[in-house]
Structure 1
Amino acid sequence: MIVGIDLGTTNSLVAVWRDDSPQLVPNALGSLITPSVVGLDDQGQVLVGQAARERLQTHPQLTAALFKRHMGSAQEISLGARRFRPEELSALVLRSLKEDVERAFGEAVTEAVISVPAYFSDAQRKATRIAGELAGLKVEKLVNEPTAAALAYGVHQKDRETSFLVFDLGGGTFDVSILELFEGVMEVRASAGDNFLGGEDFDAALVQHFLSSQRQDKAFPDVDSPGLRNRLRREAERVRQALGQEATATFSLAHGGQQWEQVISQDELQKICAPLLERLRGPIERALRDARIRVADLDEILLVGGTTRMPLIRKLAAGLFGRFPAMQINPDEVVALGAAVQAALKQRAAALEEVVLTDVCPYSLGIETTAQFGRMYEAGHYLPIIERNCVVPISRVKTIQTLHDNQTQVLLKIFQGESRMVKDNIALGELSIPVPPRPAGEVELDVRFTYDNNGILEAEVKIPATDEVHSLVIEKSPGVLSPEEVRRRLAELAQLKVHPREQLVNTVLLARLERLYQEHLGEVREMLAQMAGSFQQVLGTQDTGRIADLRAAIEQRLEELERSPWQ
């Protein structure tokens, strides 16, 4: 069985193709959305999703979020005494989604199409594939999130030529892609984006604004505490969402017997977020320029990603494009639905007409060279071999020569980026190639880059003088695990104990009660403590009926409390 997965910075979803349409699959709590949060409980068992998210502020040392932003890097994240790579944490999320589908349909899930930001680098794409492998999934296909959104909207089923732009602003990344449909071919004309711009950054701006307003108050607590930082971020998210419905919202923090509040209006939010809104313009302009298309020639604008719910984002999009964008499909769900459509296309589902998808290489890819200026030589220059927004799959070759007499080695350094000097681009790896010792410039090397539909770069170097061909194995690609390392970490993950699924709904409620207890004071705190104590007592009886009844009553009371959190 093959599934489509939206592995998001903030939330993740899984969908399957059933009854000639994509269907989202709920998790153990009955929710379609699983927070991309992983933690360990007090017994060292793994928690994934809402249960882990509830413990972010109460047990920050045992909980991790936003690890997608570190995919493709060598960074490790500590959960208690254990250290995890971003791929491993992502694998635990993927494994949880895989198990949700297997329990729902009683079939083994063996393969997945996973969505990635269009602007993900080679290393980030490889890390995503490895995360799938660690989760026990075969990942032959990665689909760019904007392309998945277009598939979900059924753009591929239209019988006329159509051009459209996908504006995808999620929790942690921003992508913009321009696509065209003609004669059953969906072609990505251009992609651009920012891998560090999303809803989390808008929340961070709100937190910073709130902290600046309290700077003069000497009683204000130390915000270096991880638990307090997570509380502030959660409150910022609540305020941002509230401002989507109301003219004003109150940012509040209770700590140490005191409470601090600040009223924020929609106009103030726009001023606070002005630098972030300005950053959205650059990728849009670059994509339009690279695609050689005018805004007036676009047939549709699709808004994708939960952050596009913000009125100021919709207002910005309407102003930039001179029309109201399409949001008929839930922006949180559209990418997962599209990934399921891609999975069905991969399976050649009978209900889907044949559609050919083409994509582009989001970055320029090249090598370091030495430039000659008269009699002077300067190292560190960038020679692009594949330029950004070329249609993939693509293969390009460029010829270089040796620089020194009797040179016996050429060190080929590979980079991605758009800057003239390699120091300002991202190093992907390097390969040392033996060459025959001859006078400078006499030995030529044909360097061929091949970039496939999954965004994976391969390179080979041919020396015409000897007919030798060297396949490029990137030995120093930052953040990419070796096959041996993958096998070792797969064995380690298999030994982790996962919190029992049947207890998860009760674990989430206890974690929520603990979080709210820390957030509140006085009578509300006493009430929460009594609820938690009563629920733990009933859990001890193992009477499923009594547990379910009390859980429902407590959840209803908590919903009322969180709608008016400082009443």
Structure 2
Amino acid sequence: MIIGIDLGTTNSLVAVWKDGKSQLVPNGLGDMLTPSCVSIDEDGSVLVGKAAKERLQTHPERTAAVFKRYMGSDKKVRLGQKDFRAEELSALVLKSLKADAEAFLGEAVTEAVITVPAYFSDAQRKATRTAGLLAGLKVERLLNEPSAAALAYGMHQLNSESRFLVFDLGGGTFDVSILELFEGVMEVRASAGDNYLGGEDVTSAIVDLFFQRNKLATSLRNNPMFMQRLGASAETAKRNLSAGQQAKVQIQLDGNDLSMDIDEEALDKLCAPLLKRMREPVERALRDTNIRANELDSIVLAGGATRMPVIKRLVTLMFGRFPTSEINPDEVVALGAAVQAGLKMKDAALEEVVMTDVAPYSLGVEVCMRLADGKSSDGHFSPVIERNTAVPVSRVGHYRAVDARQTSVQLRVFQGESRLVKDNILLGQLDVPLQPDGNEEKAVDVRFTYDVNGLLEVRANVNNSTESHVLIIEGNPGMLSEEEIRQRFAELEKIKMHPRDTLEMRTLLARADRIYQQVRGEVRSWLSVQIAEFEGVLETQNPRLINPAKNKFSDMLNSIESDSHLHSDFDPQPN
């Protein structure tokens, strides 16, 4: 069985192709969404998902979130006494999703289709594949997120012909893809995006505004617990604005209550710079396909951040029509990943479905240009594969050494659209030796091969010789060697995952700890007693006592959190 996984910045989901359709898999709490959070518990076990998210505010030094943005880099996050790379944290999330799928299916799972932002670089894609390996999964395919959304959406329209645009705004990334659907073929015509633009940036903008309005010292930004609590309150306010016209951000600081009212107008103004950044990828994709906005049949929303009214208004104004969200934007990518898993398994129900994709960015090498006055200019970008070329693709660029006396050529490989390489992304370099013959001009053929997973291979041949030189990424901190992957796999195997069957209770306790730190006075003392008594019931391991106690404890926590005047009005009831 191959599963489909949407490995998101904020939330992750897993789905399977079963009984001729995509089916979402619930986690241990019965939820479809698993927060992409990891925490190290006091006993050394790993908590993933909602339990970890609850600990972001109470144990920030032991908890991590939004680490997807660090994929493909050497940035490390310290949890407790151990440092983790982004792919290791992602692997722990994947292991949790894998366990959920195995519980749902009743069989072992070893293969997966994992989605990535369309604009993820080669290093970020390889890091995602590594995360899968560290989780014990063979990654059958890395599928672009908007392409996955299109697969889920297109399954309802296989017998029609249409052009549509997928507007995919998640927690940390933004992608846009234009597709054509005809006779069961879904063809991606163009993709564009921004790997550092998403719903988390809106939350950060609200936090910045809170600092300004309350005139807070910038040194508070170095206080992890305060920033996590403020971020959580800002996130809640953002979500409340999706349902109403006004919301409040509030937090305690040194016993004082700080607050800020924010309305739709203020949020629109706050988001203006972010919305401007969203326009550029959309316009680029339309230009590359030579399709005008009014020629599109529909606009499909994907990603949880598209729930925000400000985003829906932007899309409506941009395209002159209301977007469609027939499928839950939070779930559409995972459902599409399951369709791709079904295609990989050659399910009979998908025999007539074909999916094609493109390279979302240009790939090439650094060259030196000769100018008319005989001088030369370094640092120019020479594309070998242009953006939005259909994949898989293999192209050759022909280059010559600057000087016939050269004994080697350093090929520096870049990704991007800028004229100068300094404004593009360095993927790696390949040192090609040349024969020390000063009389013969040395030509180098550079072949770029880009596969359906978005992974790049570069080979160089000198003067049509049979000897090939294959790209070795040197100095790229985002890459792990095979030996390092094996070592980290062994280390992660030693880490104990929190038992799935007790996850609900651990999540309740993590939530209670968070609320305890937020309240004061009599409520705090009373809550401390309730937590201790609930822990005592759990220690009995008696289901007949635990189940009613769990429900009562959960209702009590709901009651506390639903009271907007917590400190003055809440009246704890004695047992």
CA distance in 2, matches of 1:142, 1:476: 24
* Partner Cα distance (1:212, 1:77) in 2: 28
Q: Aligned residues, how many?
A: 565
- SS across alignment from 2:112: strand
2-side partners of 1:265 and 1:140: how far apart?
45
Q: Distance in 2 between matches of 1:103 and 1:465?
A: 55
Q: Give the structure-2-normalised TM-score.
A: 0.95
Distance (whole Å) between structure 1 residues aligned to residue 537 and residue 226 of structure 2 = 31
Identity in percent: 56
Tell me the TM-score normalized by structure 1: 0.97
2:263 match: 265
* Structure 2 counterpart SS, 1:56: helix
User: In the alignment, residue 315 of structure 1 is paired with which amino acid?
Assistant: R
**Matches of 2:458 and 2:89, distance apart in 1:** 30
Change (3 A) 1:496 1:565: farther
In 2, Cα distance between the equivalents of 1:191 and 1:566?
A: 48
Tell me the C-alpha RMSD between the 2 structures.
Answer: 1.6
Extract unaligned runs of 5+ from structure 1: none
1:113 partner SS: strand
**CA displacement at 1:504 relative to structure 2:** 1.4
Give the corresponding residue for 2:277: 279
Superposition pairs of residues 33-432 of structure 1, within 5 angstroms = 33-155=33-155, 157-215=157-215, 222-373=220-371, 374-432=373-431
On the 8 A contact 1:5/1:15 being kept in 2, the answer is: yes
Deviations 1:472-495 (A, max 9, x none): 233333301111110111111111
Give the C-alpha shift of residue 22 in structure 1.
Answer: 0.7
Instruction: Indicate conservation of the 8 Å contact 2:72/2:124, yes or no.
Output: yes
Aligned-partner Cα distance in 2 for 1:312–1:405: 59
Within a 5 Å distance, the mapping from 1:465-476 to structure 2 comes to 466-476=465-475
The SS at the match of 2:23 is strand
C-alpha displacement at 1:189, in angstroms?
Answer: 0.8
DSSP-derived class of the 2:58 partner: coil
Tell whether the 8 Å contact from 1:254 to 1:521 is kept in structure 2 after alignment.
Answer: no
Residue identity matched to 1:149: A
Q: Which has the higher mean CA deviation after the structures are superposed, 302-311 or 430-439?
A: 430-439
Following the alignment from structure 1 to structure 2, what is the Cα–Cα distance between the partners of residues 440 and 454?
43
Deviation at 1:382, TM superposition (A): 1.1
In structure 2, what residue type is equivalent to 1:43? D
Q: Distance between the aligned counterparts of 2:508 and 2:57, measured in 1?
A: 15
Q: Supply the distance in 1 between the matched residues of 2:361 and 2:564 (Cα, whole angstroms).
A: 45
Q: CA deviation at 1:395?
A: 1.2
Alignment check: 8 A CA contact 1:404 1:440 kept: no
* Cα deviations by residue, 1:127-163 (Å, 9 ceiling, x for unpaired): 1111001101010211111111111113574223210
Measure, in 1, the Cα distance between the counterparts of 2:534 and 2:494.
31
The one-letter amino acid of 1:128's match is T
Deviation at 1:184, TM superposition (A): 2.7
Residue 570 of structure 2 corresponds to: none
Give, in whole Å, the separation in 2 of the partners of 1:48 and 1:465. 53
Per-residue Cα deviation, 1:428-472 (whole angstroms, up to 9, x for no partner): 111111112234771111111011111011111122353432222
- What is the CA-CA distance between 1:90 and the residue it aligns to? 0.4
Gaps of 5+ in 2: 567-575
Deviating more after overlay: 376-385 vs 556-565: 556-565
Distance verdict in 2 for CA 1:221–1:391, change over 3 Å:
closer
Question: What code does the residue aligned with 2:405 have?
Answer: N
- Preserved CA contact (<8 Å) 1:4 1:339: yes
1-structure distance, mates of 2:392, 2:287: 22
Separation (CA, whole Å) in 2 of partners of 1:262 and 1:86: 34
Whole-angstrom distance in 1 between the partners of 2:294 and 2:336: 26
Code of the aligned partner of 2:138: K
Q: What does residue 9 of structure 1 align with?
A: 9
| Structure 2 counterpart SS, 1:323 | coil
Partner SS state of residue 246, structure 1: coil
- AA paired with 2:38? V
Change in Cα spacing, 1:291 to 1:441, as seen in structure 2 (3 Å) is farther
Provide the rounded CA distance (Å) in 2 between the counterparts of 1:535 and 1:459.
60
For the residue of structure 1 that corresponds to 2:444, the secondary structure is: strand
Query: What code does the residue aligned with 1:502 have?
Result: D
Q: Is the 8 A contact 1:50 1:508 kept in 2?
A: yes
